[in-house]
Amino acid sequence: MTKKVTTSTLLKMKQDKQKITALTAYDASFAKLFDEQGVDVMLIGDSLGMVLQGCEDTLSVSIDDIAYHTKSVRRGTERAFVIADMPFMTFATPEQTYQNAAQLMAAGASMVKVEGGDWLVETIKGLNLRGVPVCGHLGLTPQSVHVFGGFKVQGRDDLQAEKLFEQAQALAQAGIQMLVLECVPSSLAEKISKAINIPVIGIGAGPHTDGQILVMHDMFGVSANYMPKFSKNYLDITGDMRTAVKMYIEEVRSGTFPSAEHSFN
């Protein structure tokens, strides 16, 4: 029987300095492919608004959209840890969050992910008390794209970097069990990864986090909109999807991905 990846597995991987591999997934077929190749974590991301629905951002994705795709991914998964995104404005209040998180857990998620800083502290504590593990998300949080004025690297100046560092600590103290850092300088991501005792997964955050995640469409070079600087087209290199996933896993674990060209200073 295949041993399932759990929060304890992921924590031990951080402690043992073994890199965690993660990809977004949205259906049973790709979930099965990723699972069989050994991907540790699959995220049903609200990125589906852009890569599946063709929208310019993630803001129109609903809780029902995420629940539907979570059910599909769960059916294709035996080993990997499954995380579901909480879409835009589905966690504005604690009570609303509890109801929507319950829907995603019932659909097959083992953890929910929320975007935002210390304003989420009480909500995170409440989710934990109700048996719901939480993944945080800091840096470029796509649901705040209009506040940021576009998809821009976060934490480049000292004041912003210090604020992100403090928010990561606040979220960890509140009880998140994983943190995603998106589009932040490598040095800041390394500092945060060393400072908190939970796994930190990077996307455009350099090679020094505890693991990496990519949007599957970017990794296969089939995104409808654009190819981010921090991504790499593994399908173009290998010509085969399974081999592409295997190569991604090997490069993350060896530390060769992301390289300097996929990172921000």
Catalytic site positions = 182
Among all chains, which residue has been given the structure tokens 């606040």? Answer: 170
Any known ligand binding at 46?
yes
* Residue 19 annotated as part of some ligand binding site: no
Question: Hey, which bits of the chain come out as E strands?
Answer: 20-24, 41-44, 81-85, 111-115, 134-139, 178-182, 200-203, 211-214
Q: Annotated binding residue at 113?
A: yes
- Where in 132-194 does DSSP place strands (E)? 134-139, 178-182
**Residue 90: which residues within 8 A CB-CB, separation 6 or more?**
62, 63, 96, 97, 100
115 is in an annotated binding site: yes
Query: How many Å apart are CA 18 and CA 131, to the nearest integer?
Result: 27
Q: Which amino acid is at 227?
A: M
Q: Is 72 in a helix, a strand, or coil?
A: helix
Instruction: Find out whether 65 is annotated in a ligand binding site.
Output: no
| Tokens 């929910």 sit on residue | 112
The span from the CA of 188 to the CA of 101, in Å, is 30
- As a whole number of angstroms, the distance between CA 248 and CA 256 comes to 10
264 and 258 Cβ atoms separated by less than 8 Å: no
Residue 79 has what DSSP assignment? S
Handedness of CA 184, 69, 81, 30 (dihedral sign): negative
Residues of the binding site: 46-47, 85, 113, 115
Annotated binding site for Mg(2+): 46, 85, 115
Could you list the residues known to form a binding site for 3-methyl-2-oxobutanoate, using ranges. 46-47, 85, 113
